[in-house]
Structure 1
Amino acid sequence: MQNYSLLAKYYDHFMDHVAYSSWANFIENLITKNNLRTEIILEIAAGTCRLVESMQNIAYQQYICTDLSLPMLQQSKNSFPKAVVDICHIPFADNSVNMVLMTYDAFNYLNPEQASQALSEVRRVLQKGGAFIFDVSTEYNSLKWFDDYCDVLKIDGATIVRESNYDFNLAVQHNNFTFFMPTEEKDIYRQQKEHHVQYVYSEEMLEDWLCDKGFEVAAKYGDFELGNTKNNTERIHFMAVKP
């Protein structure tokens, strides 16, 4: 089963703890403080396009929401332009956007080869001085919250079980979703599965990759605080600029 083909319908319920307005405010402040251009913003892995709904304090001419999963985009109710896009093959011209956003550890879904290609593509489509703002989930976050973890969501007659574990040796996070979907027969359910894999990268590795691809790491934020990356940091935001 392709990732997010089934989960898309229930994704916002799993994410109801996320304060999108606060996240958007953080990004808006980052944009304002660094005087970044925002005429054309491309959001990669936008999911159900919740972030853009809270991005109300910056001026832009066009905000394009993209995701690899069509079912995820179809769950969105807003009217922003949307497109199915693979970050490894962005169908935009060179130097065509001012900013690329990729939030909520979407970058962790890229394996090393994909990550390398993605960084090349992002740099290609960015204009000079354009910024790539993205975040990653850390190993500390996986070990603290998602190693031998299980939760259950019951909604609309369906039961979804999420089981997570972290492979320390490979630095890989596994998230297994099992869907028990109701059928027309009473007490009979159809079982389907999705297996999500996330790759955990160190701060140093990401900085090296960004520099190798020709970016300048203009800022790093540990748990939404400038430069505050520690051993117990759960999330790191990078602001990488194309010089």
Structure 2
Amino acid sequence: MMRPGWVIAFGIVAAWGVVAPSRAEASAYYTPTYVGTPGEVGNVPIADGMVSNQATGTSHAFLQSTRDRLGSLPSGYFDGLPTNQVRQGATRPVLNTYTMRPVAVNGSGIVLGTIPIHASSDPWRNPALGYAVKQADGGFSPFRQLAFHGEYYEFPQLSESGQILINRAGSGGMGGGSMLHDVATGVETAIRDLIPPELLARYGNSVYALGIDDRGDLLVHLSGAEPSGGGVLILTPPGLDAPAAVPEPSGAWLAAAAIAGLAFRARRRRDG
């Protein structure tokens, strides 16, 4: 049985270095930015490239462009995506060739998507999840499997940073939890290991990743230690500035009006 980290190409399964993606031994902690409680952030935490606290009106930029890019690529961009041969049908199965279906792509040519791997009356019902990388000659690398169908919660997210966010369901030999997979190195890091211990102690040890943006910032929900339901935070990778808070429009307007009023009074005193 195929395990995460194996490569599928042209109907042939071959080991890709290791049976499963490597796990990072240690990582520098990310910088946390508190957004609000789950109730303040709401059921749709990311909207129009922003993460907002609905109670205070404060927002933080959180741009995600990899899914929007699918429809803007030139014709033929996905020609040469990996294929796999799988038998389809119940009574008299027929060997068919299936091409990877892209779900997201970043500017470096990393394509996140799915491909059938199991014989079935409908092989697309339980496809494998993985990615392929566009090569210099215009073709693609073999399909690199991350998980079987049902081994993750929600659909994983691809970032412009070259990382894939996946919430593993606890099967497939990888253990459960929110994970960050680095395509360049193949290293997979538990997001819990990126969070300062004092933060986990304050909000709780239950970590669930809600999103990853173009820079590699992570939006996470920590819970288990507070009756309010924990906290929603943005985690910023080392070397990057934490996203600045953007005040609600009314607050910004009032601030601008106050500054304009001060300038007007100063000018009247000077002219008078």
Give the TM-score, by structure 2 length: 0.22
In our comparison, the structure showing a higher alpha carbon Rg is: 2
Higher helix share: 1
Higher relative contact order, structure no. (Cα contacts within 8 Å, ≥ 6 residues apart): 2
Give the TM-score, by structure 1 length: 0.24
